[in-house]
Amino acid sequence: MSTLESASRRYLQGRETRKLVLGDAHVARAEAKSTAFDEPFQDLITEGAWGLVWSRDQWSKRERSIVTVALLAALGHYDECAMHVRATANTGATRDDICEAMLHVAIYAGVPAANSAIKIIKEVFQEMDDEAAQSNGESE
């Protein structure tokens, strides 16, 4: 939104949910990189995906996270899949949850889709482990 004063309630809720799931830093980077060209798209995903869907209370953030990772993997959207795997640190979805989701992807969307996603997911988990070790003062 060009100004938060003109933002809808749904947009504001979506922005808060997006920050909760993806982290303040991620949302700040996305907003800083937004231009007049992609501002309508950013508004759409903030209000639609994050305000209309992710903010619903019928499923937990953990459940939505698992389903989202599975869908992105099944569709071959690996950059988005990696982003949502990182978000599991905020949603409560575990590595076991993601492993189970990849088994479903393999059966219902195909082994190649799951295999490609698993490669990306393992890389993201390693990056997350390395970052956690660094923040805990451990060396490699």
User: If residue 126 lies in a helix (H) or strand (E), which one and from where to where?
Assistant: helix 111-135
Q: Is 88 in the same domain as 37?
A: no
| Cα–Cα distance, 33 to 45 (Å, whole number) | 15
Range of the domain at 8: 1-57
Going by the DSSP 8-state scheme, the letter that residue 117 receives in this structure is: H
- Residues 88 and 132 sit within 8 Å (Cβ to Cβ): no
Q: Is 85 in the same domain as 123?
A: yes
The number of folded domains in the chain is: 2
> pLDDT tens digits for 92-117?
999 999 999 999 999 999 999 999 99
Q: How many CB atoms lie within 10 A of CB 131?
A: 12
Given this model, what pLDDT does residue 6 score?
Answer: 64
Q: Is 94 in the same domain as 34?
A: no
User: What's the CATH number where 123 sits?
Assistant: 1.20.1290.10
| Cα–Cα distance, 77 to 30 (Å, whole number) | 18
Residue 138's pLDDT band (cuts 50, 70, 90): low
Conformational region of residue 76, where left means phi above 0, alpha means psi within -120 to 50, and beta covers everything else: left
Q: Is 23 in the same domain as 71?
A: no
What pTM, to 2 d.p., does this model score?
Answer: 0.90
Q: Is 63 in the same domain as 124?
A: yes
Residue 1's pLDDT band (cuts 50, 70, 90): very low
Domain's final residue, options 19, 38, 57: 57
| Cα–Cα distance, 79 to 96 (Å, whole number) | 21
| Cα–Cα distance, 132 to 37 (Å, whole number) | 36
